[in-house]
């Protein structure tokens, strides 16, 4: 089942790219394996996938030592500052930087471990109370403030769009994020070139790719529904 799901998602991404005139290599698939066992990750790895997304530090720490070394782990969920030290040298990217304090902590721990961590800034485009993220109008100030920190490299923007029945309803969210990244690149802030746009999940990744996503974070369509009660 995992192989069918995985190859279905891969071919759907290809088809969407083709239909909107994008090169398929410009969209990276992040297989979101949160709550799923290491065996499921290994299965999808064996199909060729190397980039996986997790939203909890503990799960990265559990899976990291028992799975192949060349997996690129992306931390996509809310990150508490006191847990940064456990993962700065394990993850290929942190998608969820949304406070100066968190950015400073990543910087400090990265310098300590002599690594540079690629990060994305999480943006709360729709300004939902239930979501983490910087507001669009505060983004430039925020990025300018953290751009001087050593040990972290600001690569782009990330958003978790609202839950909607019709993915078309999120088109405006994705478009706003893309526009903002162009806007900020035009400001020529030192050390800042936003090239990545992490947006789109199982429900809305087609629309996100059409609007310029360079990374899509897909869980359910690959691994099936999650059961949080076990
Ligand atoms: C769980 C999660 C995803 C994947 O969601 P699906 O709807 O299962 O594809 C993507 N991004 C973040 C931040 C998540 O927490």
Report how far ligand 1's centroid is from the alpha carbon of 175 (Å). 19
Nearest CA to ligand 1 atom 6: 219
Report how far ligand 1's centroid is from the alpha carbon of 112 (Å). 31
- Separation between Cα atoms, residue 31 and residue 170, nearest integer Å: 21
Residues of the chain with pLDDT under 50: none
Query: Which ligand 1 atom lies nearest to the CA of residue 202?
Result: 9
Task: Give the total residue count for the chain.
Answer: 230
Question: Going by C-beta distance under 8 Å and a sequence separation of 6 or more, which residues neighbour residue 5?
Answer: 221, 222, 223, 224
To test ligand 1's pocket by mutation, which of 32, 130, 158, 199 has the most ligand atoms within 8 angstroms of CB?
32
* Alpha carbon distances (Å) from 85 to 58, 61, 118, 128, 158: 12, 11, 15, 29, 22
- Separation between Cα atoms, residue 36 and residue 149, nearest integer Å: 34
Query: Which ligand 1 atom lies nearest to the CA of residue 95?
Result: 13
Nearest CA to ligand 1 atom 10: 217
Predicted confidence at residue 228, as pLDDT, reads: 75
- Separation between Cα atoms, residue 130 and residue 144, nearest integer Å: 26
Reference 209, options 49, 5, 9; nearest CA is 9
Predicted confidence at residue 227, as pLDDT, reads: 83
- Separation between Cα atoms, residue 48 and residue 42, nearest integer Å: 10
Report how far ligand 1's centroid is from the alpha carbon of 220 (Å). 8
Can you give the pTM of this predicted structure? Answer: 0.97
* Alpha carbon distances (Å) from 10 to 29, 34, 112, 163, 166: 8, 19, 38, 23, 22
Nearest CA to ligand 1 atom 4: 219
Predicted confidence at residue 229, as pLDDT, reads: 67
H, E, C per residue of the chain: CHHHHHHHHHHHHHHHHHHCCCCHHHCEEEEECCCCCHHHHHHHHHCCCCEEEECCHHHHHHHHHHCCCCCEEEECCCCCHHHHHHHCCCEEEEEEECCHHHHHHHHHHHHHCCCCEEEEEEECCCCCCCCCCECHHHHHHHHHHHCCCCCEEEEEEECCCCCCCCHHHHHHHHHHHHHHHHHHHCCCCCCCCCCEEECCCCCCHHHHHHCCCCEEEECHHHHCCCCCCC
């Amino acid at each position: 089942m995992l192989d069918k799901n995985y190859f279905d998602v891969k071919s759907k991404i290809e088809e969407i790219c083709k239909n909107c005139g994008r090169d398929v290599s410009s969209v990276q698939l992040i297989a979101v394996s949160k709550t799923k066992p290491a065996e499921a990750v290994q299965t999808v790895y064996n199909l060729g996938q190397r980039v996986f997304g997790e939203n909890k530090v503990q799960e990265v720490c559990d899976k990291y030592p028992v799975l192949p070394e060349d997996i690129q782990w992306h931390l996509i969920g809310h990150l508490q500052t006191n847990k940064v030290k456990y993962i700065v040298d394990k993850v290929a990217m942190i998608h969820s930087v949304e406070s100066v304090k968190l950015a400073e902590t990543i910087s400090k721990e990265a310098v300590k471990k002599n690594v540079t961590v690629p990060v994305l800034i999480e943006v709360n485009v729709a300004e939902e109370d239930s979501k983490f993220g910087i507001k669009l109008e505060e983004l430039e100030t925020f990025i300018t403030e953290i751009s001087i920190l050593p040990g972290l490299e600001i690569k782009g923007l990330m958003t978790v769009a609202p839950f909607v029945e019709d993915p078309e309803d999120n088109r405006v969210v994705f478009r706003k994020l893309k526009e903002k990244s162009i806007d900020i690149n035009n400001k020529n802030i030192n050390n800042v070139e936003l090239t990545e746009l992490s947006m789109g999940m199982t429900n809305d990744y087609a629309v996100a790719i059409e609007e310029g996503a360079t990374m899509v974070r897909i869980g359910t369509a690959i691994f099936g529904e999650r059961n949080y009660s076990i």
